[in-house]
Amino acid sequence: MSTPCPCGSGHTLADCCGPFLAGTSAPPTAEALMRSRYTAFTQGAVEYLRTTWHSSTRPHEIAADPAPTWIGLKILTTKAGGPEATEGWVEFVARYRIGRRSFRLHERSRFVREDGVWRYVDGVLDPLR
């Protein structure tokens, strides 16, 4: 786990998203949850994605999709979502490749605390700024 964290934080996986995915700690902010969820996608950590989804919007099943190769995450803006907040938003662009074609996922995600832990609720794709 001395490899760079896929979320692009500049830290190692062991010092960044690794403990969240392992369940030994919880993300302290909405942005940290966003970054850890991106990392979960890169690692195929489907159960982590499921448990970090808000109970009101969580799908019954989440299947790992082996087709995309995730190649980068850029956080554009955050609103609220700090350690003491109860709600927050993170706008990001995640880049991925399928075969030889590259794609971008641009989303403004909404996060809320559920039982004291940050959860992903929903998002707006290609939000207007």
Task: Give the CATH architecture of domain 18-125.
Answer: Roll (3.10)
**Residue whose C-alpha is closest to residue 37's, from 115, 87, 94:** 94
User: How many CA atoms does the CB half-sphere of 22 hold within 13 Å?
Assistant: 10
Average confidence score pLDDT of the chain: 95
Span 72-108, pLDDT tens digits:
999 999 999 999 999 999 999 999 999 999 999 999 9
Q: Which residue has the tokens 């609220």?
A: 80
pLDDT value, residue 48:
97
Using a pLDDT cut of 90, give the percent of the chain over it: 90
Helices (H), the chain: 18-22, 30-43, 46-51
Segment 115-124 shows an average pLDDT of: 97
pLDDT value, residue 63:
80
129 Cβ neighbours under 8 A, 6+ residues apart: none
Question: Model-level pTM?
Answer: 0.94
> In the structure, what pLDDT confidence band is assigned to residue 24 with cuts at 50, 70 and 90?
very high
**Res 65 pLDDT > 90:** no
Domain boundaries, the chain: 18-125
Tokens (6 digits) for 123: 């998002």
